[in-house]
Amino acid sequence: MRERKKERTRKAISDAAITLFLRSGFDQVSITQVAEAAEVSRRTLFAYFPTKEDLVVHRLADHEFENARVVRARREPPVAALRAHFLEGLRERDPITGLSDKPEVLALYRLIKETPALMNRMVTFHASGTRALADALREVADVPPLVADLAADQLSGVRWRLALDNNARITAGASADEAYPEAVEAAELSFSLLLNGLGSAGLG
């Protein structure tokens, strides 16, 4: 019960913050305003979210180490596993793939892309996920550290690039269903290019 209460409080704070950020802009809203809107103290807010940027990036927290989890969980070579996982995400219109036309998802993407502090936070998010993926590659594929690091950089970079491109298509006016075939084609091409290079290292 205590954990459920904590999760409800965390969600209430994040919801209040994002509502204010979307209405007035990330830089124009203070932590005090967020705390007041969520009806918590500043101290409580910081107990859940150490930085202002975390109020937004919290929505993506489950995905930070997703690539590493996929590599460890699937009984396929790493590149094949991540390719299959990304294609599943496209079919399900998972927001992390960028192929979502839900208004709240588009608004969150727009907020992040238009706010330098949030984009910088996403760089940190991306880097920690890439390090975790490199660790998973060393563990699962038993490759040298340099190979794991280089492969993780490429695999993480491809997923991020594809997500941004998918989001750009939808922002330009396409629906998720309309953008789906092109998104699949781009993903297949991207992972095929990776497979040709990384397959020789035993990661295919």
Model confidence at 200, pLDDT cuts 50, 70, 90, reads low
pLDDT tens, 73-87?
988 999 999 999 999
Residue 122 has pLDDT above 80, yes or no: yes
Cα–Cα dist 114/21, whole Å: 11
Please state which of the ranges 127-131, 169-173, 191-195 shows the lowest mean pLDDT.
191-195
pLDDT tens, 16-54?
999 999 999 999 999 999 999 999 999 999 999 999 999
Compute the Cα dihedral for 177, 179, 185, 188 and give only its sign: negative
Tell me what the mean pLDDT of segment 139-144 comes to. Answer: 91
pLDDT given at position 142: 87
pLDDT given at position 45: 96
pTM: predicted TM-score of the whole model, two decimal places: 0.87
Model confidence at 4, pLDDT cuts 50, 70, 90, reads confident
CB 97 within 8 A of CB 90: yes
pLDDT given at position 62: 86
Share of the chain above pLDDT 70, in %: 97
Cα–Cα dist 39/11, whole Å: 12
C-alpha neighbours within 13 Å on the C-beta side of residue 162? 28
pLDDT given at position 177: 97
pLDDT given at position 201: 56
- Find, among 140, 136, 117, 116, the residue nearest to 128 by Cα: 136
Cα–Cα dist 73/71, whole Å: 6
Q: Read off the tokens for 138.
A: 């060393």
DSSP state of 204: -
- Residue carrying structure tokens 């997703």: 66
